[in-house]
Amino acid sequence: MDTTKQAVDRRIVHAVCPHDCPDCCAMRITVEDGRAVRVEGDPDHPITRGFLCVKVNQYVEHVYSERRVLTPRRRVGPKGSGQFKEIGWDEALDEIAARFRAIVAAHGGEGILPYSYSGTLGLLHNYSMDYRFFHRLGATLLERTICTAAAVEGNKYTLGSYYGTDPENFPDAKLIICWGTNPVTSNPHLMPLIKAAQDNGATLVVIDPRRTRTAERADWHLQPRPGTDAALALGLMHVIIAEGLHDEEYVRAHTLGFDELRERAAEYPPARVAALTGIAEGEIVRLAHLYATTKPAVIRLQYGMQRHSNGGMLVRVVTCLPALIGAWRDPSGGLLMSTSGGFGFNFRALQRPDLLGDRRPRSVNMIQLGDALTGLTDPPIAGLFIYNADPVASAPDSNRVLAGLAREDLFTVVHDTYCTDTTRWADIILPATSQLEQTDLHWAYGNYYVQMNRPAIAPLGESKPNAELFRLLAARMGFDEPCFRDSDEALIDQALDTDRPWMRGITRERLARERWVKLDLPQNGPGGRFAPFAEGGFRTPSGKVEFYSARLKELGHDPLPTHVPLVESAEGSPELHARYPLTLLSPKAHHFINSTFNDVATLTRREGRPTIEIHPDDAAARGIADGDLVRAFNDRGECFLHALVIDRVRPGVVASPATWWASKFKCGQGINALTPSRPADMGGGATFYTNLVQIERVTSGE
């Protein structure tokens, strides 16, 4: 017997976390004999600093999960039965091309709807060949609104530019306000930067109706009623302006509409704001003083606060604050909502809108997928192509989505790495590669670095990356434009071919060599650091922060910051509130990214089970004890979860960390059976948290 041990072929590959998370971590993948055995954070990356999160630490388990789809499959049982048989790629592509041709012949390209969101945030696999394909087809356009749309729009009318304070400057801030964001869970690599500031004497304030993991690390936690943050911000403005604590010089030079704002803020004295928000008068005054007198002061916003019917306005009002006190003067002051607007990739080259020719297809707001599938005629949606998304788990009003997916005359293709709630409803399932098996180019929405991901291992089974799938499908459809043959490398070069000054010097070769490159940000602040609006330069029509927005007035909104009650609330709909008195928040789960990672047993075990947090007073009023199985319901649907009786949420608010696969709930209905598909005030954004429900006890705990 030969006992000689073969030497193991071990390599380390640089990769990038592709998930919908602001951090965009640099990963080091250890590969032994072609198998990934270890995934860790790159110690040299300035943001990652050698650690990943609790989720991506389990990446090896995720990549080799039993839930992977490894071959194309065709449905053989009734819709939704989960009965499939394996088929080859040729057969799958032939069938899709034939069905798509027939749909185009009967209804035109608009009879087909692509549906995608953030399975990966890579430029190649979420913003390139897919768009080319559907543009060439003349398919219905998808409005990608499910996450950020209200914020983007509210910000547009106020600051204009969608970038802000460099998080690497947070350690020098003296006041950090996490306003409706929970970075310990959703943006973990911001925490060491916040901790460094706290160690330097900074105060961390968290404004959140729920006592989150971040609130537990804060010096001060304020718990407003959901959807009342505009009133709170107006209360701060009231105190700041009345006491002359605003920065007159900055306001005069770089804002529009201060006189009107002063009058508006006068309508929000602390007593009124206390009644609206549920925060005590004294606390409002104290926060106003702290904010106006502590320098540098920086606000961190993300997307939790804007998942409301008034979400655009909430973001707009809060983004007015830094200009009022001149916080933008300092590189460590100001506000960070997203960094994405700082990048200047060439999306026209990637997505080729010119392939539309002179066609102007209709568009569908993705949060209304169920309405589109069940309601659109002229033409109806006859073909649906889902990739990078799991709408049965993640889209609102899932009963409506399911009614659409159940249509016998709908031809549904789902490209995913895993068997999900949505693949169950497919006619054809196509296997997607994981990030370890593909090339991509990455940007971050919480920092200013560009990176390139290289495959660490060969594709598992017959899985294929998105861009490759759309190349193949384009060929099957007879699309012979050369752009459908562009390689991954060519796509990367096209994305980087831009004259935006901050992108200067970023090339594929340099990314391969240096692994990450920071944007060439202006070093205009003290110490040569980036201070995005120290000298103004806002991208609004006036070039200033628009306290008063003529564009909003034209659109029928209040041109000034204002408090608008939530459509579903005691103030906004007393009759509905009488029947469904609890506001259900479904914020981000610590161990998942949206519905991704439900396949990883280590993570589902740590997350526990579908749970709803309820205040002891609300629980007592319903005879609910900790651990009881309860039914949450409203006019849209119902779902069954276990109660966690805890004062983490305010009375009147319940919270269920999302998103568990619907199939993991008792009775198979997930949290989104309850959520509304009603668009927000701006941008058609999602309103998951403007969601009144009632809760009743089903059985006692086990």
Ligand X SMILES: Nc1nc2c(c(=O)[nH]1)N[C@H]1C(S)=C(S)[C@@H](COP(=O)(O)OP(=O)(O)OC[C@H]3O[C@@H](n4cnc5c(=O)[nH]c(N)nc54)[C@H](O)[C@@H]3O)O[C@H]1N2
Residue numbers at the binding site for ligand X (CB under 6 A): 20-21, 117-120, 125, 146-147, 179-182, 185-186, 207-210, 212, 224, 226-227, 229, 302-305, 308, 387-391, 393-394, 415-418, 420, 432, 466, 585-590, 592-596, 658-659, 671-672, 675, 688-689
Measured from the CB atom, the residue of 142 and 517 that comes closer to ligand SF4 is 517
Closest distance of CB 434 from ligand SF4, Å: 13
Beta carbon nearer to ligand X, 308 or 577: 308
Please identify which residue in the block is written with the tokens 């102007």. 360
Q: Which of 15, 24, 335, 695 binds ligand SF4 (CB under 6 A)?
A: 24
Taking the least distance from each CB to ligand SF4, the nearer of 309 and 433 is: 433
Q: What is the DSSP letter of 227?
A: T
Query: Whole-number minimum distance, CB 509 to ligand SF4, in Å?
Result: 25
In this structure, what token pair is assigned to residue 10?
Answer: 């071990």
Q: Whose CA is closest to 659, among 603, 581, 616, 580?
A: 603
- Decide: is 414 part of the binding site for ligand SF4 (CB under 6 A): no
Q: Where are the beta strands (DSSP E) in 337-448?
A: 363-365, 383-387, 411-416, 428-431, 440-442
Q: How many residues bind Mo ion (CB under 5 A)?
A: 1
| Binding partner of 209, given ligand X, ligand SF4, Mo ion, none, CB within 5-8 angstroms per partner class | ligand X
Element (H, E) at 30: strand 26-32
Nearest partner of 680 among 363, 369, 320, 306, judged by Cα: 306
Q: Is 55 a residue that touches ligand SF4 (CB under 6 A)? A: yes
With tokens 């959807």, the residue in question is 227
Considering only 13-21, 348-356, 565-573, 694-702, which stretch makes contact with ligand SF4 by CB under 6 A? 13-21
390 touches ligand SF4 by CB under 6 A: no
CB nearest ligand X: which residue? 304
The least distance separating ligand X from the CB of residue 153, rounded to whole angstroms, comes to: 15
Choice from 111, 122, 171, 188 touching ligand SF4 (CB under 6 A): 188
For 607, the token pair is: 């997350």
Q: Which stretch binds Mo ion (CB under 5 A): 143-151, 262-270, 428-436, 558-566?
A: 143-151
Q: Specify the stretch interacting with Mo ion by CB under 5 A; choose among 139-147, 212-220, 471-479, 668-676.
A: 139-147
Q: How far is the CB of 189 from ligand SF4 (least distance, A)?
A: 6
Scan residues 56-85 and list those touching ligand SF4 (CB under 6 A).
56
Taking the C-alpha atoms of 62, 65, 67 and 72 in order, what is their torsion angle to the nearest 10 degrees? 100
Nearer to Mo ion, 151 or 234 (CB): 151
Which position among 15, 31, 36, 52 is part of the footprint of ligand SF4 (CB under 6 A)? 52
| Whole-number Å distance between alpha carbons of 55 and 188 | 11
174/189 with CB nearer ligand SF4: 189
Which runs of E-coded beta strand occur in 108-229?
112-116, 141-143, 175-179, 203-207, 220-222
When the beta carbons of 291 and 303 are compared against ligand X, the nearer one is 303
Regarding 210 and contact with ligand SF4 (CB under 6 A), the answer is no
Instruction: Please check whether residue 388 is in contact with residue 119, taking contact to mean a CB–CB distance below 8 angstroms.
Output: yes
State the minimum distance, in angstroms, from the CB of residue 608 to ligand X: 14
Out of 23, 208, 397, 421, the residue judged to bind ligand SF4 by CB under 6 A? 23
Instruction: Report if residue 183 touches ligand SF4, rule: CB under 6 A.
Output: no
Q: How far is the CB of 685 from Mo ion (least distance, A)?
A: 11
CA distance 671 to 656: 8
Q: Which amino acid is at 512?
A: A
CB of 190 or CB of 402, closer to ligand SF4: 190
Handedness of CA 279, 284, 286, 291 (dihedral sign): positive
Q: How far apart are CA 448 and CA 340, in angstroms?
A: 8
Written as six digits, the tokens of 271 are 């007593």
Q: How many residues bind ligand SF4 (CB under 6 A)?
A: 13
Which of 104, 337 has the CB closer to ligand X?
Answer: 337
**Is there binding between residue 147 and Mo ion (CB under 5 A)?**
yes
- Residue indicated by tokens 């109806």: 380
Q: List 613's β-bridge partners, or say none.
A: 644, 655
Closest CB to ligand SF4 among residues 111, 304 = 304
> Any residues with CB less than 8 A from the CB of 22 and at least 6 apart, and which?
186, 187, 190, 302, 338, 339, 444, 445, 446, 447
Contacted entry of ligand SF4, Mo ion, ligand X, none for residue 300, CB cut-off 5 to 8 Å set by kind? none
* 8 Å CB contact between 410 and 381: yes
- For ligand SF4, the closer CB: 516 or 548: 516
Q: How many CB atoms lie within 10 A of CB 217?
A: 17
With respect to Mo ion, which residue has the nearer C-beta, 147 or 603? 147
Residue with tokens 């070039």: 543
Query: What spatial distance separates the first Cα and last Cα of the chain, rounded to whole Å?
Result: 56
Q: Which does 153 bind (CB under 5 to 8 A by kind): Mo ion, ligand X, ligand SF4, none?
A: none
CB of 445 to ligand SF4, least distance (A): 10
How far is 294 from 301, CA to CA, in rounded Å?
A: 18
Name the helix (H) or strand (E) containing 428: strand 428-431
Q: Checking DSSP bridges between strand 653-655 and strand 611-614, what pairing results, if any? A: antiparallel
Write the CA distances from 666 to 81, 501, 607, 609, 662, integer angstroms: 18, 53, 16, 10, 9
Q: What is the C-alpha separation between 523 and 277, in angstroms, rounded?
A: 40
User: Which entry of ligand SF4, ligand X, Mo ion, none binds 180, CB below 5 to 8 A by partner kind?
Assistant: ligand X
What is the token pair recorded at 544? 């200033």
Query: Is 440 a binder of ligand SF4 (CB under 6 A)?
Result: no
Classified as helix, coil or strand, 582 is: strand
Taking the least distance from each CB to ligand SF4, the nearer of 315 and 603 is 603
- The residues in 579-618 that bind ligand SF4, with binding defined as CB under 6 A, are 593
- Whether 194 and 29 have beta carbons less than 8 Å apart is answered as no
**Min separation Cβ 527 and ligand SF4, Å:** 28
Residue 16 Cβ vs ligand X, minimum distance, rounded to whole Å? 13
Taking only Cα atoms into account, the Rg of the chain, rounded to an integer number of angstroms, comes to 25
Residues near ligand SF4 (CB under 6 A) are: 17, 19, 21, 23-25, 52-53, 55-56, 188-189, 593
Residues near Mo ion (CB under 5 A) are: 147
